[in-house]
Amino acid sequence: MLLRLIGGAALVVVTIGVLFMIAMRTKSSTLQKPIKAMNKNFSNPRALEDAGQEDAKWSVIRHIGRTSGTAYETPVGMYDTDDSLFVVLPYGTNTDWYKNLAAAGGGTAVHKGVTYEFT
């Protein structure tokens, strides 16, 4: 009985992993919707606790809502080179924070404790 329960749990985990990979590779909005909801409601608030700090895993993009005018902070994966910063776009350009930045013509990024204004 216990072996069957463990096998069932493993199957569920593998299935979720496969669906996640398919969603991210195909950019399927139907499959990405629950992932985005989980990030927005669970992962992002926890990532923002230390995002942007010198030793943090995540950086922060600060932007203004294009219709609401509300200020937002979104944790992002950001990497630097000698003269540039790169932001990971796992969902492509179809995210609210990206659309807000495009509509405003720029925003602010906090990466490794340093704040950058950009256009």
Report the DSSP beta bridge partners of residue 72. 63
pTM over the 0.85 mark: no
Lowest mean pLDDT among 73-77, 87-91, 106-110: 87-91
Tokens describing residue 58: 């995540």
CB 78 within 8 A of CB 87: yes
Where are any strands of DSSP class E within 5-118?
Answer: 59-64, 71-76, 78-80, 85-87, 107-111, 114-118
User: What counts of helices (H) and strands (E) characterise the chain?
Assistant: 4, 6
- pLDDT, one tens digit per residue, over 22-41 is 766 777 777 778 878 888 88
CB atoms closer than 10 angstroms to residue 115:
11
